[in-house]
Amino acid sequence: MDDERGFMAIAFRHVNRELAAVFAVVFFALLVIGLGGRFIGYLQDAALGRYSADALWLLAGLRLPEFAQLTAPFALILAVLITCGRLHAEGEFAALTSGGASSLRILAWLAAGILAVAAGVAGLAMVVTPAAMRSASEVIAEQRSTILLPSIPPGVFHSFDYGRRVTYAEEVDPEKQRLLGVFMSDRVEGGFATVWAQAGSQYVDTETGSRFLLLERGARYEGAAGDADFNVVEFERLGRRIESNPQDGLPAEVGALPSRELDAASITHAAELQWRLSLPLLTVVGAFAAFGLARVGQRAGRFARIVPGTVLFAAYFLSCAAARGAISDGTLPAAVGLWPVHGVMLAVAVHFIRRSARPL
């Protein structure tokens, strides 16, 4: 009896150690890929003068919980597929079952790691991510309202308002918040309006939140390309709006709300709350389905089930996302919500687990 207990304890540690190692590698790789893409977007915004360089790492860190809560379930499913696939392919699973460990017992061993990951996802979805999104919203709002000029390098054209306006400055004085040798061009009906000014400074309209450049001592030219008949107006001071959508790119208001403030009577709040609750449930159910799907013959490789497992989990995730959107649109009752999707996937997981327990 003691020998059997010792064998089971060793097998338990062996299986969970391998699962944890594979999960860590896959999770880190997927997180770097996802966060790297977002960071490149922030770099592009910084090049356009929307953020300062100092804010890039802060914004990337604040987006980390959101990426982690979406990456962890997928990384866990892949880890279960790879770990259990190797156990089946190399005959270790058969050795464990012949030693007295049933399929359900091995699943119970894996459940410790699976539930730990699900608990982490729940903490991120319910608490950490909304708080991070609120902080990111504050940082972006501050950057776009007060830190435009220090982040603009001289001698570079900048596009604003979705490419409708282009701004250029020969020199930038960050301390005095002034631009020298300013060029601006924007599209108007029938042509372009171009402005040259000796200097300019930024200000923000407190009512609309739009950003303006107050230009000094210059001229405005308006007309069509190739037409010699231009309207020319000289000025001492002229205000030009450079961005009309300062809130573009901010986290969604509902997504940034604390979970305790979500009102189930609102369809958008109900959709957000069910989504947050669904992420840890999706983690557990998806991992159980991966366990049942991972069985392969000894002649097959450990990665034989990666593609079907990935397709299955992608369908599960996208179905949850579609149901969330349907709740927000009002086409799906909140009382029904995402739960039928989880129910179907749970039935699929039970089917795979039962089939994996049968002899090949």
Overall pTM surpassing 0.95 (yes/no)? no
Residue 115, pLDDT score: 94
SS3 193: strand
Residue 247, pLDDT score: 46
Residue 283, pLDDT score: 96
Residue 33, pLDDT score: 86
Residue 240, pLDDT score: 72
Residue 184, pLDDT score: 80
Contact 207, 185 (CB under 8 A): no
Residues in the chain with pLDDT values less than 50: 150, 245-252
Residue 233, pLDDT score: 84
Residue 48, pLDDT score: 58
Which residues are CB-contacts of 76 (< 8 A; sequence separation ≥ 6)? Answer: 23, 27, 114, 117, 283, 286, 287, 290
Residue 80, pLDDT score: 93
Residue 301, pLDDT score: 63
Alpha helices in the chain (DSSP H): 2-47, 53-89, 92-98, 103-123, 129-146, 267-293, 306-329, 339-357
